[in-house]
Structure 1
Amino acid sequence: MVIKLSINGKGPYNFILDTGVGLMIITDPKLADSISIPSKRTLKIPGLGEGTDAEAYVTSALTIDIPGLVSYDVAAAILKKDLFSLSGYAGMPIHGLLGYEFFTNLAVKISFQDSTITATRPKDLKVFRKGTQIPITIEDRKPYVQSKAVLQGGKIVNSKLIIDLGAGHPVSLEKIIPIYGLPQKFIASANLGIGLNGPINGYIARLDELDIGKFKIKGIISSFPAETDGMNRLSVPRDGNLGIGVLKRFSVIFDYSGGYMYLKQSSAFKEPFEHDMSGLEYYAAGTNLDRIIINRVEPGSAGDEIGLEKDDEIVAINFKPVSKMSLEEIDELFRSKDDRSLLLDVYHEKKLDKVVLTLKRRI
């Protein structure tokens, strides 16, 4: 979820709305040139991933202007290096992450169906008709919810999850493997995403069910990160992470001051969970972020079987240039249907090839 905002009267800049960050994070180091930093005090930000803690400069108090809203004296951190390359993965320029400062004094309603956000004073909040009120806690400036995960085989695990709008997956469970081992069927994925400490490695498998409040979410795909030192150094103990892959199946209201989240299921609630069936990881490149470059091919996947390789460039899919497609459209195509054939135009070894990619469900 991307919103436009101005900082100290300059911008607009594109920020991802992310309940998973407590401190506003400017991920584009170039913004430091236009934002006053009175001292070069360095802050270390812990998180998941295989590397060391991220380093950032602390800013002076900022004025953040979102259409209809102005916030003063907002603290932020500017990363010394762009660790996430969010622009490449979003297919549009991304300058940072906005979390707690946006949610703390407002009631925020998010409708994923029509891509709208409505912010009101908590006292003026009008909740959903037929919505469900779910208690949340705010700890270290981030929201948490209690859930029950039903593993393959029926084992029930009570889980405290951080609610993370910035995470693309449905759910991630961080402590399952050391205690319960891997599920019977899984994907050994080398990269589950990028955290503040670098790449997150681990596995992907299905849960029988995830229960949140009265909602029982069947056949959900879960990430299972490999254990890292970062998990043991988080400021708030937790069992995992609830991402936008689940939240977008609802309309959601966050009321931090009241300690509740309200959920109302949408028409997308019962859609099956599908994982990528191509085996390709890719990013947007070029001045206009309209080129699609493969940065990894999963061994044994559909993409691997037809000889696609790292640094190949996808030019068109089913005769449609990728420059006229969003990354979301491409993602949806690659997880659309088992055994579906797609015609790809690909620059491979400095020549343009046409190849047929037959999608293969792996989980």
Structure 2
Amino acid sequence: MKIIISSINKFFIVISIFFCFSNLGFSQNEFVIQNKKKSDKISFKLISNLIILPVEVNGVKLSFLLDTGVSKTILFNVSDTLKIKNTETIFLRGLGDKKSVEALKSRNNVFKIGDVTNFNQDLYAIYDSNLNFTPRLGIPVHGIIGFDLFKDLIVEISYSKKVITLTKPEKYKYKKCKKCERLNLEFYNNKPYINAEVTIEEKKIPIKLLIDSGGSDALWLFEDNSLGIKSSNNNFYDFLGHGLSGSVYGKRSKVKSLSLKSFELKMVNVSYPDSVYISQARKIKDRNGSVSGNVLKRFNVIFDYQNAMITLNKNGYFNDKFRYNKSGIELAHSGYMLVKEREGASVSSALNTNYKSQNATKIIINPRYKLSLKPSYVIVELRKNSPAEKTGLLVGDSVLSVNGKQAYQFKLQELIQMFYGNSGKLIKIVVSRNNIILAFEFKLEDLFK
């Protein structure tokens, strides 16, 4: 299993699960729609190009990442209230260069998403407290769901409206859409792949890509000189994310274009992970990489696994530029801190006997304060030779303010978004390091100019 966590376009989460055994084909466990229409719409949160769905597990309300790149349902940091039962121990291994992680396979769990229910859902529970999505996304994420949901239903995702529609296949009717494109899906280990075309240094190269809605980056490619898949000279080495088996590093660059039939996206962000971290992923025959959230969000998408088909219809995000983090800073939520806030001031008038005039008064300001818990953010990764590193910032610095505004006044993603601004933008940042307050400033730098 691999779990990649980073931020916004640069910040991404890629999750793919490679089990030590093969479990191909559709499961007997099924999601059914418990209403007369046999269809239901569910609102989701779009965080860093990722879909976060409300999911109820054994009566407990949780949030799950919707990920086409996983073949099994995963649950993290399991609490006793979930009543996990019927378990057996397995081991999962993923991206990174460390050992596999222990997990418990649990049967007969009840999953509910809107009016859609599975009364006999398998899940894989991981108790490692270090595997926690919340710090990197800034909102609670308790698990991941993918193939188990997609195999039973037509899944229509409106990234523009932030709504997912789940429909029983027999009840689904395709609408006429002259501007849509339909692509065939291929499946390996219950994960969907499509054929696409990428232009690198004026050469058009056909590629096979995993569709990975659980990754917030745009495109991953596996370098292969024999096919012409290689990074240009205009690249930089970077932290790509944190995997189940450790951190993952590689090169970031741009490709001239990515084509999905008639849809062509230009100057697309691409990452080339070092081969040592993706040994499991490269075992899939003919796979050249992954297409992820920063591409998928530019379409409204219909997944039809039973007919092995995906339908794309471009939306308002289609022409957005592919941006990236120009600061070199990776942030994470690091708990909460107590902040003393002023509630207001009571103003009273009192006779000032020091003045001769009986009308003279003095104003007494009596401020009232309250203590509040506010989010705390910390630098968890720092790109070598980046503007942030060169100015003196360090991993472990707690961010207190950015451009004159208290850090806790931002949501994590709002704070990260500031690092995706135009080249030359000035960033003033105040941090706490070993209880010492330090101030730094730097300008965002475009490495692709």
Asked if TM exceeds 0.5, the reply is yes
Deviations 1:153-195 (Å, cap 9, x if unpaired)?
Answer: 2233322111111111101012336865542111111x21123
SS of aligned partner of 2:326: coil
Taking structure 1 as reference, are residues 229 and 133 closer, same or farther at Cα in structure 2, changes over 3 Å only? Answer: same
CA contact 1:42–1:58 (8 Å) conserved in 2: yes
**In structure 2, what is the equivalent of residue 77 of structure 1?**
124
CA contact 1:13–1:94 (8 Å) conserved in 2: yes
Task: For 2:254 and 2:265, locate their aligned partners in 1 and report how far apart those are by CA, in whole Å.
Answer: 11
CA contact 2:195–2:207 (8 Å) conserved in 1: yes
Q: 2:83 matched to 1:35?
A: yes
Deviations 1:293-330 (Å, cap 9, x if unpaired)?
Answer: 00122121110122111111112223333323222222
CA contact 1:24–1:75 (8 Å) conserved in 2: yes
Deviations 1:268-295 (Å, cap 9, x if unpaired)?
Answer: 2122212110011111111578211001
% same residue: 23
CA contact 2:251–2:273 (8 Å) conserved in 1: yes
Task: For 2:265 and 2:131, locate their aligned partners in 1 and report how far apart those are by CA, in whole Å.
Answer: 30
CA contact 2:431–2:439 (8 Å) conserved in 1: yes
**In structure 1, what is the equivalent of residue 106 of structure 2?**
59
Deviations 1:196-244 (Å, cap 9, x if unpaired)?
Answer: 3322221111111111121111110101011127525766332111110
Task: For 1:32 and 1:170, locate their aligned partners in 2 and report how far apart those are by CA, in whole Å.
Answer: 37
1:24, distance to aligned residue in structure 2 (A): 0.2
Task: For 1:95 and 1:346, locate their aligned partners in 2 and report how far apart those are by CA, in whole Å.
Answer: 30
SS of aligned partner of 1:133: strand
Q: 2:145 matched to 1:98?
A: yes
Using the TM superposition, name which of 263-272 and 160-169 deviates more. Answer: 263-272
Q: Which amino acid aligns with 1:59?
A: S
Task: For 1:71 and 1:139, locate their aligned partners in 2 and report how far apart those are by CA, in whole Å.
Answer: 24
Task: For 1:218 and 1:58, locate their aligned partners in 2 and report how far apart those are by CA, in whole Å.
Answer: 43
Counterparts of residues 248-267 of structure 1 (less than 5 Å): 248-267=297-316
Higher percent of residues as strand? 2
1:150, distance to aligned residue in structure 2 (A): 1.5
**In structure 1, what is the equivalent of residue 296 of structure 2?**
247
Gaps of 5+ in 2: 1-50, 337-372
Q: Which amino acid aligns with 1:214?
A: S
Out of 316, 322, 329, the position equivalent to 1:280 is 329
SS of aligned partner of 1:323: helix
Gaps of 5+ in 1: none
Number of positions where the alignment pairs a residue of Structure 1 with one of Structure 2: 358
1:33, distance to aligned residue in structure 2 (A): 6.4
CA contact 2:248–2:277 (8 Å) conserved in 1: no
Task: For 2:222 and 2:374, locate their aligned partners in 1 and report how far apart those are by CA, in whole Å.
Answer: 33
What RMSD in Å do the two structures reach over aligned CA positions? 2.2
Deviations 1:15-69 (Å, cap 9, x if unpaired)?
Answer: 11111111001122x3366333334x22233433222333311112211011221
CA contact 1:47–1:234 (8 Å) conserved in 2: no
1:128, distance to aligned residue in structure 2 (A): 6.7
Q: Which amino acid aligns with 1:2?
A: I
Task: For 1:42 and 1:356, locate their aligned partners in 2 and report how far apart those are by CA, in whole Å.
Answer: 50
Task: For 2:416 and 2:225, locate their aligned partners in 1 and report how far apart those are by CA, in whole Å.
Answer: 28
Counterparts of residues 212-251 of structure 1 (less than 5 Å): 212-228=260-276, 230-232=278-280, 236-237=284-285, 238-251=287-300
SS of aligned partner of 2:265: strand
**In structure 1, what is the equivalent of residue 438 of structure 2?**
353
SS of aligned partner of 2:294: helix
CA contact 1:176–1:224 (8 Å) conserved in 2: no
TM-score, normalized by length of structure 2?
0.74
Structure index of larger Rg: 2
Q: Which amino acid aligns with 1:118?
A: T
Task: For 2:278 and 2:226, locate their aligned partners in 1 and report how far apart those are by CA, in whole Å.
Answer: 15
Out of 82, 85, 88, the position equivalent to 2:135 is 88
Out of 163, 170, 193, the position equivalent to 2:218 is 170
1:85, distance to aligned residue in structure 2 (A): 2.5
1:82, distance to aligned residue in structure 2 (A): 4.1
Q: 2:354 matched to 1:306?
A: no
**In structure 2, what is the equivalent of residue 315 of structure 1?**
400
Taking structure 1 as reference, are residues 82 and 214 closer, same or farther at Cα in structure 2, changes over 3 Å only? Answer: farther
TM-score, normalized by length of structure 1?
0.91
**In structure 1, what is the equivalent of residue 37 of structure 2?**
none
**In structure 2, what is the equivalent of residue 2 of structure 1?**
52
Task: For 1:187 and 1:22, locate their aligned partners in 2 and report how far apart those are by CA, in whole Å.
Answer: 32
**In structure 2, what is the equivalent of residue 295 of structure 1?**
380
**In structure 1, what is the equivalent of residue 38 of structure 2?**
none
